[in-house]
Structure 1
Amino acid sequence: MLSLLLIIPILGSMLLIPVSEGVSNQSKMKKIALITSLINFILSIYLWLQFDSSTSQYQFVYEFNELSFCHFNIGVDGISIYFVLLTTFITPIALLANYNTINKNLKYFLISFLLLETLQIAVFVVLDLLLFYIFFESVLPVLFIVIILYGSGEDKIRSALLFFLYTFAGSLFMLLAILELSHYVGSSDYQLISLCEINLSSQKLLWLAFFLAFAIKTPLWPMTGWLYRAHADSPLAGSIILAGTILKLATYGYLRVLIHFLPDATNYFSPLVQTIALITIIYASLATVIQQDTKALIAYSSISHMGVVVLGIFSNTIQGIEGGILLSLAHGFVSPALFICVGGVIYERTGTRIILYIRGLVTYMPVFTILFFIFTLCNTGIPLSLNFLGEQLSLIGIWERNPFAAILGATGIVLSACYSIYLYNRLSYGEYSPNLKPLKDITRREFIVLISLLIPTIVLGIYPNIILDSLHVSVSTLLYLV
């Protein structure tokens, strides 16, 4: 059944290939892509309902042994199942976000995002380290092409190159580490590597190689320069996928590779990672406050929140790791919603993302302003939102190890309130901007997309045990190794 999640988007792409480009066929192509992604989401929900949360073992395992160079083995546990669900949920949201704005080369746009869905799911379900690297890197050329062909910024080629070169250069060290690990163990299979004893000095070198690749993808300071540029110059659907799921590849890598396979080195380097995460939180928050481009502001806020995620994961406590996972999922809902608000609804109506030119939107867009306000509050981590639980558990986890680090990490919450409320208040209230014509409120499609992101944010914020009950066994087993 798990293999169907990988196959269905590819089948949808194959259905799109014979359809001729033309205005008359655009609606047909959009429906094929959207229905394909929705089928995959429904299938992932069924998979989750059948998942046994009482065990930490991999489930729905499928093996394909015809490949001589690697062992194609897939399965999910209590951690990866939620990243798979997030991927299948965000993909139709991304397609709907650009449903009416992308008309040129539409077929290749839709195929790109269906292909991205398969590649991202593969990262979370493969049980072989070499395949993990292959799929981890395979999203780069697809997103590179999407930014260049469909991006809107004047510097989109430079942004695409920075995104590609930053992440690819860091991942070369991960490839060397995987080859060394495979040579030492004799296999790149997850379960065999986890059973192998690796001395601390070797673990340290391997850990640093993996961490560099994941730190760039997160991104952590000082390697943050590519993210806000990629967000600012990519199409809206690209920003949604980038914030919603691509950044979670690194989060999953920390859990699956560093903590699982290299526990002693993880314990040794945890103070260093916590220090880098704290610098990232404070630096990104202060950089966010001075931004004048709305998409760049949300992009920098993503960096700050991912710093809290890393802080929780490397607290080496059950609460911290579970909080990091919850905050990753919350960020996967709220950050795409904010990109839809500023890079979709507002930008499509005003033609600008410069904060100085936008003011008083509540005058003509009251429904949008309410939704924008709720997502802004969720981004600051108010109670009853999943962001609140993720941040609190992450900070509680790090408090048990280092109270001073928890205090510094909590400054990110205060600063997030500063820049989030500033953005909302500046755009929504005050005298209506003379630079703008009267604007229409959100359409039914935009309302459905935003409500779809709001519901899980609030429901999971009120009933987090929907996730925590099935996370606890896997996280406890993972942490026991550390």
Structure 2
Amino acid sequence: MIPLDDTVLQALLAAVVALPLLGAVAALLPAPPGLRGRGPEQAVLRHGVTVTGAVLVLTVLLALGFDHDHPGVMQAQTDVSWIPALDVRLHLGIDGISLPLLVLTALLTFLCALHSYAKRPQGPRPQAFVALLLLLECGTLATFAVLDLVLFFLAFETVLIPMYFLIARWGGKDRGPAAWKFVLYTLLGSVVMLLGLLVLGGNAGTFDMVRLAQQHGSGLSHGTQVVAALAIGLGLAVKAPMWPLHSWLPDAHTAAPTVGSVLLAGVLLKMGTYGFVRILLPAAPEGAHTFAPYLAAFAVVGIIYGSLACLALARKGAQGDLKRLIAYSSVGHMGFVLLGVATLTHTGVNGALYANIAHGLITGLLFFLVGALKDRTGTSDLDALAGTTGAALYGRTPRLGGLLAFGAVASLGLPGLAGFWGELLALLGAYHPAPGLSRPAYAVFLALGALGTLLTAAYLLLVVRRVCMGDPATSSPAGSSAALPDVHGHEYAAWVPLVVLTVLAGLWPAALLGLTDPAVQNLLPGVTR
């Protein structure tokens, strides 16, 4: 990897953020006659693949040109005055924390566009679908790239509109109520977060995240930091999602189309936890320290609650929906991320960032697989799939069954796969929390988190047994033994990168930790571990 000149990196980062927005506008225009192919619908779906593919290439070039010897230093910075009266600036930049999230966003969005091109989304005009997908990518990339609190809030809110319409117009059963619930929860949380951002920036004299991190709370009273941490934390916790503010998530995932579920779990949930690390911990350290034990308590309750909910859905006769089960599993997995953040240590925060990426890869893969299973069988109901003997995917579609089993064991944290390291580091951080935090209390949180890993293994192995095993001759649905198509070529193209990266992240954790740890040390300078 050869570091590029910072001017080139600036141009690449600006292009990565702006290109999806330009592509969204272009998707709504008529396709030129020579590019229509078999029709305008195919042309606009191909346009989505082209734009997201170009964004992915630019993001990879950005990652290759990034100075990996100094990942803790903010690079590719563009800092231009936007609203001088409020000192709001168009400030972009990346470091070892934001770069992996940019790459993950670009990759998952490209794979979703590829999936949609091969399997046309059922619903209104594909022009609107592609435009919304690209607008969603723009908002998410901007969230991870901007370094101004006001811009962060605007980017944070940008994703609400496209995700609402993706659920409401292209979703399944009960899509309307699920979409409204998603918007209301996240919008109310965002209003509270905005108040906290204004309190923080107004009292600190700047909305610039880099300067706020350098000040590390100096000049802010304890009361101001507590108010800012509470308001910002509540807004971020809704998006994270933290128990008990999670109830919008299962409904949204169950109703969303496959690509909506992939992006919601793989990317949008990361925006909340990223905000904790980028804004809350460095800018309001005293406020974060005050609420850290409560955040850890809610996190471990979420771990246990999510696992028990999944066990209830996985048991025979519960009529549990497989998409809903994976959604509840996200509540548990993101609980480990929040637990790592709540330790306020380098080890725990690095674990949180690692678990963020691992969850995006693994859960994105699982939603792709469940979507494919639903397309083949017409249902994602576990009882309908499994019948009396199991769905027998190993016998009927061995490659699909094998991939589903791989996703399940990766999600339960099998050593050697990506899901293992983040949870381990989060638990190690709880074993030695930051000075001033109650070690006995965090020992209890550690024990509950460890129990959550056992419950996670229990429900995922139960799902594998019911869905992958059984007698093909008597397998469901309705006892039919009709052949199901195994993995198609376009599905391999969308899934194999996630499988490869899940294995690579599990076997080579230093590749990601080498990026995040120096940046975490810069954001948390007073922490020794």
* TM bracket, shorter-chain basis: over 0.9
- Does residue 1:171 correspond to 2:187, yes or no? no
1:243 touches 1:336 (CA, 8 Å); kept in 2? yes
Match of 2:54 in 1: 39
1:346 aligns with 2:373: yes
1:98–1:236 Cα contact (<8 Å) kept: no
2:502 aligned partner: 457
Tell me the SS of whatever aligns to 2:525: helix
CA distance in 2: counterparts of 1:14 and 1:183, whole angstroms: 35
Equivalent position amino acid for 1:371 in 2: L
Amino acid at match of 1:198: L
Instruction: State the alpha-carbon separation in 1 of the partners of residues 21 and 484 from structure 2.
Output: 39
What letter corresponds to residue 177 of structure 1 in structure 2? G
2:417 counterpart of 1:395: no
User: Which residue matches 1:65?
Assistant: 81
Instruction: Give the Cα separation in 2 of the matches to 1:172 and 1:151.
Output: 26
Deviates more, 1:381-390 or 1:431-440: 431-440
In structure 1, list runs of 5 or more residues that go unmatched.
Answer: none
RMSD across aligned positions (CA): 1.6
Q: What is the TM-score with the length of structure 1 in the denominator?
A: 0.96
Shift of 1:22: 10
Counterpart pick for 2:489 among 444, 455, 474: 444
Is residue 2:137 matched to residue 1:97? no
For residue 298 of structure 1, the aligned residue among 292, 309, 326 is 326
Task: Give the distance between the partners of 2:248 and 2:37, measured in 1 at CA.
Answer: 35
The residue that corresponds to 2:436 in the other structure is: none
Match for residue 219 of structure 1 among 241, 250, 261: 241
1:155-181 CA deviation, whole Å, 9 max, x = no partner? 111111111001111111111122223
The residue type paired with residue 442 of structure 1 is: V
Residue in structure 2 matched with residue 317 of structure 1 by the alignment? 345
Q: Distance in 2 between matches of 1:317 and 1:179?
A: 27
SS of the residue corresponding to residue 159 of structure 2 reads helix
Deviation at 1:469, TM superposition (A): 1.3
Q: What's the CA shift for 1:330? A: 0.5
CA separation in 1, counterparts of 2:23 and 2:183?
27
Larger CA deviation: 430-439 vs 376-385: 430-439
Q: Give yes or no for contact 2:239–2:272 (8 Å, CA) kept in 1.
A: yes
Aligned equivalents of 1:204 and 1:316: distance in 2? 16
Number of residue-to-residue matches in the alignment = 480
Give me the whole-angstrom Cα distance separating, in 2, the residues matched to 1:178 and 1:320: 25
For the residues of structure 1 that align with 2:248 and 2:102, how far apart are their CA atoms?
25
SS class of match (2:91): strand
What residue is the counterpart of 2:163 in the other structure?
A: 143
Shift of 1:347: 0.4
Answer whether contact 1:9 1:37 (CA < 8 A) is retained. yes
The aligned residue for residue 437 of structure 2 is none
Instruction: Give the one of 170, 174, 183 matched to 2:202.
Output: 183
Alignment deviations for residues 234-270 of structure 1 (CA, whole Å, 9 cap, x no partner) = 1111000000000000111010111010111111221
Secondary structure class of the residue paired with 2:207: coil
Give the Å deviation of 1:182.
2.9
Q: Which residue of 2 aligns with 1:328?
A: 356
1:140 and 1:11 map into 2 onto residues whose CA distance is 19
Q: CA deviation at 1:67?
A: 4.1
**Alignment-derived partner of residue 87 in structure 1:** 105
Aligned partner of residue 452 in structure 1, secondary structure: helix
Aligned to 2:511: 466
Q: CA-to-partner distance for each residue in 1:400-441, whole Å, 9 max, x for gaps?
A: 133322111011111111111111111111132252432111
Matches of 2:14 and 2:129 in 1, distance apart?
24
CA–CA distance in structure 1, aligned partners of residues 107 and 468 of structure 2 = 29
What amino acid maps onto 2:500 in structure 1? I
Of 225, 234, 250, the residue aligned with 1:203 is 225
Paired residue secondary structure (1:383):
coil
Residue 413 of structure 2 contacts residue 419 of structure 2 at CA under 8 Å; is this kept in 1? Answer: yes
Give the deviation of 1:361 after TM superposition. 2.2
Tell me, which stretches of 5 or more residues in structure 2 are unaligned?
A: 1-11, 314-319, 386-390, 434-441
Superimposed CA distance per residue, residues 426-473 of structure 1 (whole angstroms, 9 cap, x where no aligned partner): 111113225243211111111221111101110111111111112221
When the two structures are superposed, what TM-score results if normalisation uses the length of structure 2? 0.88
Separation of aligned partners in 1, 2:233 and 2:516: 24
Deviates more, 1:223-232 or 1:45-54: 45-54
Q: In 2, are the aligned partners of 1:361 and 1:429 still within 8 Å (CA)?
A: yes
Q: Is 1:365 aligned to 2:397, yes or no?
A: yes
- Listed one character per residue, the Cα deviations across residues 284-320 of structure 1 (whole Å, up to 9, x for unaligned) are 1101111210000000001100001110121122111
Name the SS of the counterpart of 1:98 in structure 2. helix
3-state secondary structure, aligned to 2:352: helix
Per the alignment, residue 16 of structure 2 pairs with 5
Q: Which residue of 1 aligns with 2:307?
A: 285
* SS of corresponding position for 2:524: helix
**1:43-58 → structure 2 map (5 Å cutoff):** 43-55=58-70, 56-58=72-74
